[in-house]
Structure 1
């Protein structure tokens, strides 16, 4: 009987020990899961904060560019028109006065166009394809270089924020080509399907020796901005053979 009592005690002790082990394991798993949840929540907050910061910076840069453009237009274009209007309206000749009134109407039209450009709501109204073609037409009309645009697959339907970032990246890519590459031709293509959208900006200019370590903050910033909207930027450049930039954005429905 004493042996049976001893065995029962051992069974109870072992069961109690196993229960403590199981409870400890459950507590550890709950704590681990909770810590993982907190870490994931912090990561999501950091990603969201970086995304919002990127959008704010893009909006600020675009507005600064627009203000610079408005300043030039007011000084070079509107200012000149105002001088012409003043000169014609001061004339005693009826035809000159009539011409001056026509110039005043032109000034009103120019100022209204400039005021609209200050508001970034135009981003919602223009497609990325139309924006790219508009920018390429500016280069073509200035006779800076030849331009080519290709579009295949589905039309891009982008949220305003993502479109803003892409517009800024494309703008920066074109500016870099204009300032540094001395190209004879710039080509932009868009290929979009159900899984992803691919935008290529290619120039046949000087190119440069590109490595990840020596790419500079400009390329890093562009890559980082693509990452904040869930995309990827790839750059390939060969000295004397030009530069190719790929902007890859997963489709929202994919």
Structure 2
């Protein structure tokens, strides 16, 4: 079950965190993985780990904010069965603490970046007879999260765009779903805590972990497993849905 044998999968931001976990799992399940990543060294490390266990993967240097560049990379790949819109950045601050430059940077990467990948992938998928798309939203697209104004805006847009793609391409055999994680323990989280709470890393990690009713953060591999299911043939009847993977945060945190 959940085989991706001979499927070509494009994963943005596959050099670290959730994207790396997805890249490795998809390759393990037989996909030919194409990682689009700004950090060439991180991408190559993921490729190395995939190839070490017999997987097939390729790295492509690309900035998701540059439409011409992304279209060129996607056309070069040419066969795309799966797209995972994973690349993204965060920002901490309410509206008063969100400078115009901060807002535009988050929008450019998280919203325009996903749009550019949709724009580049859809014609290729249509020509190939269909495909599956998973985009990374967030619990912030469903509930209010303190001091995440710009980030929440961007993830709300991801959710809405994903649903729009599902509606527009039903008859082209293209499925589109989104995933809404709560906090996931990635290198980004460790870096954020270290930068903002020096000397209190352990205390803050414990506090952030317990903000999920289940009492811990998610593991990148757990997000990857859900992405695998949604991109597999077993999920062939699923489109236009968002999946919270949040340790009970949305429904039980009251």
Same fold (TM over 0.5): no
Structure with bigger helix share is 1
| Structure with greater contact order relative to length (CA < 8 Å, sep ≥ 6) | 2
- Largest Rg, 1 or 2: 1
